């Protein structure tokens, strides 16, 4: 029987990890969690070890000896999760659970469509949904998102939402090589899917989230936000010589009926015990 593994990158998250919410989710769902400790210098690893002791068959920890940034941590976690025997789907979500773990079931419903290989969350404020973002981050994010959509030449509303799920085969290809950017690597995901010869709009679906709550103490401060244009330029420069192969006869997916620089290549051993 296949299962889903959710990768959760963690860097100095001891004060923000909501252990009780993780426990409730694990008690009620067959999903597995793979926490990637990205060289934390606080008690993050100790907090994760406590959670693993309570759920030894559902919780694993990938402990990176030095910080690689979110892109490197997610990449190594996804590669390890996608290589596990019996895994049906893999994804990643932020450690602060701004996207609640309960949203996972909506992502998995989309995969009932066999042509869909990639589902990404979208923070669209609307009636019937609970989407709470700081105003200044929302408006700055819309400018960035519009630029990304134009660059990708895709009608993507929210490429940067930290909740994305894949079929393992596609994940192994997309995450095979280190990313150019530590923080805008989501943009690279779309580029890499296109470079496989797939039509992105046919094998992917943008899923409006039911709940997304912005948490305080974000790892991305104003100084980091001001670096986004530079990160964007790095991506455009890094992918400028690539050419997208023409896909042969790909059918367009129907919408689901649901409510609304380079990182270290070494991967430490993964253990569940």
Cβ atoms of 108 and 21 closer than 8 Å:
no
* Residue spans of beta strands (DSSP E) within 123-238: 130-132, 164-166, 204-208, 211-213
Q: Alpha carbon of 45 to those of 26, 42, 143, 253: distances in Å? A: 19, 8, 36, 41
pLDDT higher at 244 or 87: 87
Is residue 12 very low, low, confident or very high in pLDDT (cuts 50, 70, 90)? very high
Q: Alpha carbon of 60 to those of 38, 142, 219: distances in Å? A: 14, 35, 23
Q: What value does the mean pLDDT take over residues 247-260?
A: 35
- Above 90 in pLDDT, residue 216? no
DSSP-derived secondary structure letter, 78: H
User: Alpha-carbon dihedral of residues 62, 67, 73, 76, nearest 10 degrees?
Assistant: -60
User: To the nearest whole percent, how much of the chain has pLDDT over 70?
Assistant: 84
pLDDT at 267: 40
pLDDT at 256: 34
Alpha carbon 158 to its chain centroid, in Å, reads 12
Is residue 189 very low, low, confident or very high in pLDDT (cuts 50, 70, 90)? very high
Q: Name the phi and psi angles at 195, rounded to 5.
A: -70, -10
What residues contact 272, with CB distance under 8 A and at least 6 apart? 52, 56, 57, 59, 60
* Residue spans of beta strands (DSSP E) within 65-192: 87-92, 118-122, 130-132, 164-166
* Model confidence, pTM: 0.85
- Helix then strand count (H, E) for the chain reads 10, 9
d(CA 55, CA 204): 32
Q: What value does the mean pLDDT take over residues 155-163?
A: 95
User: To the nearest whole percent, how much of the chain has pLDDT over 90?
Assistant: 74
Smallest CA-to-CA distance from 184 within 162, 203, 168 is with 162
- 109-133 tens-digit pLDDT: 999 999 999 999 999 999 999 999 8
- 33-58 tens-digit pLDDT: 999 999 999 999 999 999 999 999 99
Q: What is the DSSP string of 9-76?
A: EESS-TTT--HHHHHHHHHH---EEEEEEES-SSSHHHHHHHHHHH-TTTEEEEEESS--HHHHHHHH
- Above 80 in pLDDT, residue 244? no
- Above 70 in pLDDT, residue 209? yes
Domains with residue ranges and CATH for the chain:
3-238 (3.90.550.10)
pLDDT at 220: 59
- 52-75 tens-digit pLDDT: 999 999 999 999 999 999 999 999
pLDDT at 143: 85
- Above 70 in pLDDT, residue 105? yes
Average pLDDT, the chain: 87
Q: Alpha carbon of 228 to those of 57, 164, 198, 231, 232: distances in Å? A: 39, 21, 28, 5, 6
């Amino acid at each position: 029987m296949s299962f889903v593994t959710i990768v959760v990158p963690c860097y100095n998250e001891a004060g923000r990890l909501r252990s009780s919410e993780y426990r409730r989710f694990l008690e009620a769902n067959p999903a597995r969690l793979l926490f990637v400790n990205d060289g934390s210098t606080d008690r993050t690893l100790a907090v994760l070890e406590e959670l693993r002791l309570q759920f030894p068959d559902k919780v694993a920890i990938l402990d990176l000896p030095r910080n690689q940034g979110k892109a490197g941590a997610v990449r190594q976690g996804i590669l390890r999760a996608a290589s596990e025997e019996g895994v049906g789907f893999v994804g990643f979500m932020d450690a602060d659970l701004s996207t609640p773990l309960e949203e996972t079931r909506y992502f998995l419903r989309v995969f009932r469509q066999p042509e869909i290989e990639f589902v990404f969350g979208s923070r669209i404020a609307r009636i019937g949904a609970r989407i709470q973002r700081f105003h200044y981050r929302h408006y700055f994010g819309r400018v960035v998102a519009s630029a990304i959509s134009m660059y990708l030449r895709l009608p993507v509303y929210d490429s940067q939402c930290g909740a994305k799920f894949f079929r393992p085969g596609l994940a192994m290809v997309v995450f095979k090589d280190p990313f150019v950017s530590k923080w805008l690597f989501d943009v690279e995901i779309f580029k890499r899917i296109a470079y496989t010869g797939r039509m992105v709009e046919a094998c992917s679906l943008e899923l409006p989230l039911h709940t997304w709550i912005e948490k305080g103490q974000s790892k991305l401060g104003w100084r980091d936000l001001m670096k986004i244009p530079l990160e964007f330029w790095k991506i455009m420069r890094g992918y400028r010589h690539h050419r997208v192969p023409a896909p042969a006869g790909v059918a367009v997916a129907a919408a689901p009926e649901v409510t609304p620089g380079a990182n270290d290549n070494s991967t430490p051993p993964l253990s569940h015990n």
